[in-house]
Amino acid sequence: MAEYIWLDGKKPTAELRAKTKIIEGPVTSLEQIPVWGFDGSSTEQAEGRFSDCGLKPVYFVPDPIRGGKNILVMCEVLNADGSPHATNTRAVLENVAAKFAEQNPWFGVEQEYTLYQGDRPFGWPEAGFPGPQGKYYCGVGNDKVYGRPLVEDHMQSCLDAGLTISGINAEVMPAQWEFQIGPLPALQAADQLWLARWLLQRLGEDYNAYAKLDPKPVEGDWNGAGGHTNFSTESMRGDNGIEFIKAACEKLKSFHAQHIAVYGAGNEKRLTGKHETCSVHEFRSGVGDRGASVRIPTRVSNEGRGYLEDRRPAANLDPYQIFTALLETTCGQGFDSKKYNWA
């Protein structure tokens, strides 16, 4: 059983779709996984009178839910003629990543999400609100942590699938969690993030819960949900790398508006200057500053090398778009979201 997974054409934020194909196995290479198709008119990617779209396998891992020799297959969406579909943001990143491959860039994403049951965050009272924030972040105990069985199951499933998950933690708002993917090269990091998201949603079916990636799931004095993106090049990780990090921050400042355009729908509700964010209308970088747009970790500053943390992306980020923007701005001449009809 091969679970073909792809991104639909929903606006402003694409969602995951999947279906199962029975193929000959065991599968040891992408070449063994055939191109498939689907009804694009049902995913907002085609019209009903000419609705065939293609699924091109680009990455696969063991299926930790079905087990055995079954696999999860990340796919790109193609037009009927085999060209990349307009919604295929991965094909864009593939070209950009190849252009800057000699700089050996690495990416990691800190994926925050909010567990929901029905129309309420998981574990919240049916009416009213839980106690104020303060005790929930990295908490332990039934009065502080909501949904841990699903979170633990998800972490183990990511490990069983061979994904580079580097940790999990409960977040500041109750029922809000985070997992981290990376560091990895651009395409691998992005593919793995999407597969980890799919696993989270699929396992949620077994727990009568689902993960919401809304940047501001609950209005008021509650933290939003981000997708902090850690990024480095070989120069940043090398001797005197801090100077390359600072130079990258200056470039990012110059293209702040262009980045914000693709950093997640509804992100302005989260980037208010409160709750560990910088205002969407401002760019600021700083050492150890979680209220900055881009944070340089204190350890990185002390050691003079390492990476930067772009804190602007929302939880509903498309990593293919985010990584493209970071590469074009820091390694090239700058990013223009209109170039790809992304904004």
Computed over every residue of the chain, the mean pLDDT equals 96
Average pLDDT over residues 204-216: 97
Which pLDDT value is given to residue 50? Answer: 80
Average pLDDT over residues 202-224: 96
Q: Which of 108-112, 129-133, 156-160, 316-320 has the lowest mean pLDDT?
A: 129-133
Band (pLDDT 50/70/90 cuts) for residue 48 is: low
Q: Which of 121-135, 241-255, 311-325 has the lowest mean pLDDT?
A: 121-135
Going from the C-alpha of 135 to that of each of 2, 81, 113, 114, 138, the distances in angstroms are 42, 55, 18, 17, 8
Closest CA to 267 of 231, 311, 201: 311
Average pLDDT over residues 304-309: 98
Average pLDDT over residues 116-132: 93
Going from the C-alpha of 116 to that of each of 7, 18, 123, the distances in angstroms are 22, 21, 8
Average pLDDT over residues 69-87: 97
Average pLDDT over residues 215-234: 96
To which H or E segment does residue 145 belong? none
| pLDDT of 109 strictly over 90 | yes
| pLDDT of 343 strictly over 90 | no
| pLDDT of 132 strictly over 70 | yes
Average pLDDT over residues 23-30: 96
Neighbours of 297 (CB within 10 A): 16
| pLDDT of 205 strictly over 80 | yes
Q: Provide the 3-class DSSP secondary structure of residue 53.
A: strand
Say how far apart CA 308 and CA 318 lie, in whole Å: 19
Residues whose CB falls within 8 Å of the CB of residue 49, separated by 6 or more in sequence, listed in order = none
